[in-house]
Amino acid sequence: MNRDLSDLPGEGEQRDPVADFFARERADIRDLPAGTDRWESIVTEAQRPVRHHWFPYLAGAAAVVVVGGVIWGTGHGPGTDQAADPASSTASVATVTTTATGTPSAQPTATDSPSSAPSTVATTGPFLTPTSFDLVSMTNAGGKHVYALGSASCPKGECTVVIGSDDDGASWTTHASLTSLTSPGPRATPAGPDQVVGIRFANPEVGFVYGSTTMRTVDGGRSWRPMDVGGRTVLSVETDGSTVWMVTAAKCQRADAAGARGCSGLDVRSLDVTSSAPQQTEALDLPEPVESAWLSMDGADAYVSVSYLDPSTHTPPRRVSGKPVTLARPGGCQELGGLWVWGTANRKGGLVAVCQIGDANGSYGVATSSDRGATWSEARIARGLGPTQPTGVWLTAVDLDRLVAVSQGLPTSALKSTAVPTLVTSGDGGATWTRPKAAPSGVPDWVGAAGGGLVYAVSGGRSYWVSHDSGTTFEEVPLRR
């Protein structure tokens, strides 16, 4: 029977439509057991789409509880609410702008104590123009969810903004304005207070922004809270979706050629994706200062590589997951100089190494391993990567043959880098390198393989570049609504 007809009042019967509405709503209420272990399910339930009844004012009233609305594109950018001071202390207040989705912000999870939830007081501020957004970092969370971190101009000064896409980058919306955070750039060491240099998501809901301040979200980037990393600077974050790995430093400095620079006191930390605070896995006993250090994942395996300003200083890469292992140096690589490894996106156990090779011109060499670094191919010269430089080579590997690299692309502690990175690609394991067709305009900062033939390239501004054929060709994708 048609429910609408059966619900009509009988002859002479007076029905109150408002009472009927609330009666139906009460009938939909489900009892849930109390306790902190229910927080995650409460958050999930709250994120379900709002049911639209024929009382339009109710939908408007529900939106009032959201902390400020934000828009991306069409002449308006992220709204700015309140100033934040998310320092390294867990007592810091995380204040953000959240999207008007009807989802309560900053609800504690099963591993976040309700008492630790940040206190925020929001006041809707003026909108930013989208022209102020400058892309810094990207992450693919799977299921067509992509997130990006950018530097922007807020009414009270420079800030950072998190934007997201649920359709593989076809459209984007602003998720949060982190009004007290700034970014020195994607390849710069985060040495000042409240600086972030990267964003990584373990899944569409849980993600991190990191640098001299590290913050965590459990609701897809709409609300963020400070993460306790012991007051340390986080240089790199990577995850396999289950475990999150971090390289952290006790102290970092940026300076010109005449000043002290680099990082010291490095260690590795990890946490389960459902946890809220990382634990130290091991201290890295390294020569100091370190110019840069980063993680690369091969499935669940996490590897740390390190670069130094002093070309005579070197540290072999180390697998820090499971039973930690220092990797052997491939044949053909010089004993001095950098040695860095990256996992492959499509080949389990596959690693690609870049090192300085025994060549009169000081060239880079490339070696590959199919057994997690237990054995290596002989390093072959890779002239397309240019001469060896302190700014090194950043690489991403689709598999052991298809590689995309940014020469002079490693992070640096220099106040201003004079390096001019170049994007190159190889289809033969690094033997030959060419510029891809329709290569990113501007100076490329970062490349990352995301499985299949998908490769992202970031060069700042209000767009990014994507390749669907392992780096052979790239197309520009604007960050638009």
Taking only the tens place, the pLDDT of each residue in 241-272 is: 999 999 999 999 999 878 899 999 999 999 99
Strands 463-467 and 403-407: unpaired
pLDDT of residue 361: 66
The strand order across the sheet containing 196-201 reads 196-201, 207-211, 215-217, 225-226
Are 395 and 338 contacting, i.e. CB atoms less than 8 angstroms apart? no
DSSP class of 137 = E
Tell me how far apart the alpha carbons of residues 285 and 263 are, in angstroms, rounded to a whole number: 13
Those residues with Cβ within 8 angstroms of residue 28's Cβ, 6 or more apart along the chain or in another chain: none
pLDDT (0 to 100) of residue 333: 93
In which residue are the tokens 């070696």 written?
367
The answer to whether the CB of 265 falls within 8 A of the CB of 206 is no
How, if at all, do strands 292-298 and 267-272 pair?
unpaired
Exposure on the CB side of residue 391, measured as CA atoms within 13 A? 20
Which of 461, 462, 460, 465 is closest to 425 using CA atoms?
465
**Tell me: the pLDDT tens digits for 328-349?**
999 999 888 889 999 999 999 9
Which of the residues in the chain have pLDDT under 50? 1-15, 17-18, 21, 25, 30, 32-130
Whole-angstrom distance, CA of residue 266 vs CA of residue 278: 15
| C-alpha torsion angle, residues 62, 171, 188, 198 (rounded to 10) | 50
Give the C-alpha separation, 356 to 238, whole Å.
26
Give the CA dihedral 111, 117, 118, 122, nearest 10 degrees: 120
| Placement of tokens 């359709």 in the chain | 167
Instruction: List phi, psi (to 5°) of 313.
Output: -95, 140
Contact present, 446 and 457 (Cβ < 8 Å): yes
How remote is the C-alpha of 282 from its chain's centroid? 23
Q: Are 95 and 180 in contact (CB under 8 A)?
A: yes
Q: How many angstroms separate the CA atoms of 13 and 240, rounded?
A: 62
DSSP assignment letter at 127: B
